[in-house]
């Protein structure tokens, strides 16, 4: 699992105002010194990430962020990066200090997360200072609040256990070939090998597609463009997948007799909203 690409990991983001205790909590949560801890507000200026395994979620990437209320000359740039990290997150840990009284910023973020369907949990840091604050926060925020203390570690293990059980939209991400083939399907991959290709190995999208073929018990073959016409006649594939640079050639050689796609399209489909990308591409010609 340590070699799992970051793009395949569940993204957990720690967010909150400056001095909420995010960096201390993320260090306690990961049992490592991921972030610099200081009493000076705004110590974390850019997102800091750490990859790890979290049972039973599996491979995750955990990110510490700058404060939601960061100010100063670069404050808007820092909060923009924090917002971007939150937008990409699968799970958001909203950290609130037990010393905070005004929760307007936290309420705004919770409302935003609920609208986007992003999984989140609220952590009350420095719970040793005001343990009675948990019930008040739960009532005001209308959600469960997990009390934690990074200094003595209380509540951290409970937080790990609960977060590991959380269901996210990407807990079971769409596979590369989902819905395109099944057990016994014949898949023919066209993988050009030229000067730009890495020596002695295939590129990641090709490897991921090949692995998904095997996971689905498909019958797959890989050829270079020169061998494609012969392989097409012999193999009679249900699906042809080609590198983008050979798409026009493969399309012409196939003559409309087989389904064709590219590794790039498959990756865009698995990682994003392909229908939106398609609409954007169709609208590109009308731009002025």
Ordered by where they begin, the domains of the chain are: 6-165 (3.40.50.300), 186-286 (3.40.50.11420)
Q: Which residues contact 197 (CB under 8 A, 6 or more apart)?
A: 203
Whether residue 225 has pLDDT greater than 90: yes
CA distances for 129 relative to 105, 154, 177, angstroms: 22, 13, 52
Signed CA dihedral, 222, 224, 229, 234: sign only: negative
Percent of the chain surpassing pLDDT 90: 43
**Mean of pLDDT values over 139-166:** 88
Token readout for 9 is 């990991």
Model pLDDT, residue 32:
74
Q: Given a cut of 90, is residue 228 above it in pLDDT?
A: yes
Residue 156 has pLDDT above 80, yes or no: yes
Record the pTM: 0.62
């Amino acid at each position: 699992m340590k070699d799992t690409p970051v793009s395949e990991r569940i993204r957990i983001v720690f967010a909150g105002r400056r001095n909420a205790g995010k960096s201390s909590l993320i260090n306690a949560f990961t049992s490592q010194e991921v972030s610099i801890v200081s009493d000076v507000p705004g110590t974390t200026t850019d997102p800091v990430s750490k990859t790890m395994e979290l049972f039973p979620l599996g491979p995750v990437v955990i990110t510490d962020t700058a404060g939601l209320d960061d100010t100063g000359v670069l404050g808007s740039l820092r909060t923009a990066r924090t917002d971007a990290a939150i937008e990409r997150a699968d799970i958001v840990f909203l950290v609130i200090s037990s010393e905070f009284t005004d929760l307007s910023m936290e309420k705004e973020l919770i409302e935003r997360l609920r609208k986007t369907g992003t999984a989140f949990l609220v952590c009350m840091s420095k719970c040793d200072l005001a343990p009675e604050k948990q019930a008040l926060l739960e009532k005001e925020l209308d959600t469960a609040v997990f009390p934690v203390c990074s200094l003595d570690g209380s509540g951290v293990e409970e937080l790990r256990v609960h977060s590991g059980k959380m269901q996210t939209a990407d807990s079971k991400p769409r596979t590369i070939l989902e819905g395109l083939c099944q057990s016994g399907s014949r898949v023919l991959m066209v993988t050009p090998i030229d000067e730009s290709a890495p020596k002695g190995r295939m590129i990641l999208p090709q490897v991921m597609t090949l692995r998904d073929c095997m996971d689905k018990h498909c019958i797959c073959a890989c050829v270079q463009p020169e061998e494609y016409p012969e392989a097409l006649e012999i193999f009679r594939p249900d699906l042809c997948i080609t590198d983008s640079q050979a798409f026009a050639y493969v399309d012409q050689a196939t003559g409309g007799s087989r389904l064709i796609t590219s590794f790039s399209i498959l990756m865009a489909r698995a990682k994003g909203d392909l229908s939106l990308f398609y609409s954007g591409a169709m609208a590109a010609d009308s731009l002025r």
